[in-house]
Amino acid sequence: MIYFFVLFILLILAALVIALVFNNSITLSVCNNFPISKIHGGATEYNY
């Protein structure tokens, strides 16, 4: 039972790391398209 619990925690940690990595790449690609230009008042130089 304890082994299963430890395995479950490791699985959650691995999922979090993978989610962070994917979230980072998705956030970077989305920021290149939308939010940064909106935050900086539509300055197009921040899109690249």
| Mean pLDDT value across the chain | 69
Pair 27, 36: CB distance under 8 Å = no
pTM above 0.75, yes or no: no
pLDDT score at 48: 46
pLDDT tens-digit map of 8-29 = 999 989 987 777 777 666 666 6
The token pair that represents 28 in the structure block:
């970077």
**Phi-psi region for residue 41, left (φ > 0), alpha (ψ -120 to 50) or beta?**
left
Helix ranges (DSSP H) in the chain:
2-33, 35-39
